[in-house]
Structure 1
Amino acid sequence: MDFITPDDGNIRHVKRDNKEIQNMMQRLSRIEGQVRGVKKMLEDDRYCVDILTQVASIQAALNGFNKQLLANHIKSCVCDDIRAGNDSAVDELCELLKKLMK
């Protein structure tokens, strides 16, 4: 994974593997479809429990997306940073985990 940092240094970009991108995009497309389904359920005055069940499914799908992205991040970005002597990557990871575990 290659890091691309713009001149201002504030935003980091990562060149991802095409297979990884395709997999992540497929997950997001499924989630997008689920959200559209919930919108349709609301328009059709579906039962609250049915809608809430679908929302729980969306949350689980988003958690799965986050788990995959986090694993990829640790295996590539964090490891690469540590190998390069950037120990602040561990602090960044700890802060990220705090956000994800709210």
Structure 2
Amino acid sequence: MSQKNIINRLKRIEGQVRGLQKMVEEDRQCSEVLTQLSAITGALEKTAEQIVKQYTKGCILEYEKTQNEKILDDLIANISKLKNI
């Protein structure tokens, strides 16, 4: 996925978050707010997945060129940061 596609996804998510904020300000029903929150969470998770795929491919290609173990260590450390998403 290209950087442009990721930016477009993030802009859509930004719009969803603004919509969620408006829903809360308008005191919309809890079920509606939770549905929107769930959609935002799913969109963030999918975006994170795409970023991780792209990052992982880049790391593997760089490791194959350099055989530098630190690249793999950094990859593992960064993927570990996402375990709670």
TM-score (norm 2): 0.88
Fraction of identical pairs, as percent? 36
TM-score (norm 1): 0.75
Aligned length: 83
Specify the code of the residue in structure 1 equivalent to 2:46: G
Structure 2: distance between partners of 1:93 and 1:28: 22
C-alpha offsets along residues 47-83 of structure 1, whole Å, 9 cap, x if unaligned? Answer: 112111111111110111110010001111x123312
The answer to whether the 8 Å contact 2:24/2:33 transfers is yes
Which of 28, 36, 43 matches 1:46?
A: 28
Stretches of 4+ moved more than 4 A in 1?
Answer: none
Report the structure, 1 or 2, having the larger strand content: 1
Report the structure, 1 or 2, having the larger helix content: 2
Specify the code of the residue in structure 2 equivalent to 1:72: Q
Match of 2:73 in 1: 91
Q: Could you say which structure has the greater relative contact order, defined with CA pairs below 8 angstroms and 6 or more residues apart?
A: 2
Specify the code of the residue in structure 2 equivalent to 1:57: A
Which runs of no fewer than 5 residues in structure 2 stay unpaired? Answer: none
Match of 1:25 in 2: 7
Match of 2:37 in 1: 55
Which runs of no fewer than 5 residues in structure 1 stay unpaired? Answer: 1-18
Structure 2: distance between partners of 1:86 and 1:48: 51
